[in-house]
Structure 1
């Protein structure tokens, strides 16, 4: 049996090439941007889009409330509501009902 140095070097090169290809395959499936992470990223994207829609609704509600409280033209109903709730006052013709 002849042992040629060229054959050993070729086998080593093939083995290293195979190891690199296997490693690349593992990263393609289980790496930080692989197929497994793709599903997780999609789920997180959907959650964040839902949270963004919720925050946009809250922002619009607050923007409307700020416009109603504009000092130049405040909404009398909202101003009265805030005064009664914050200062615990009522008009003489109002009935106060305490809820448990």
Structure 2
């Protein structure tokens, strides 16, 4: 569990990032979760965009992705989800 200070730090770090995944009409599927887990291992911090044609509410998508990928949900802002998971092999981000 991250502290408020750590989440603020990660939100600041994520500001410059572009979303690398999009959740559309199909919603969250196992293949997408696997790819997000791999991206989190490589990058630690990612953004996911929820398209307007997604039938699942964005908050539910955020919870599903966070839960299934084993990551920490940092923020849902608009239709963008920020996820963080500390890498076991390639640690890049030093939390305060």
TM range, smaller chain: under 0.3
The structure with the largest helix share of the pair is: 1
Which structure would you say has the larger Rg? 1
TM-score in terms of structure 2 length: 0.21
User: Using CA pairs below 8 Å that are at least 6 residues apart, which structure has the higher relative contact order?
Assistant: 2
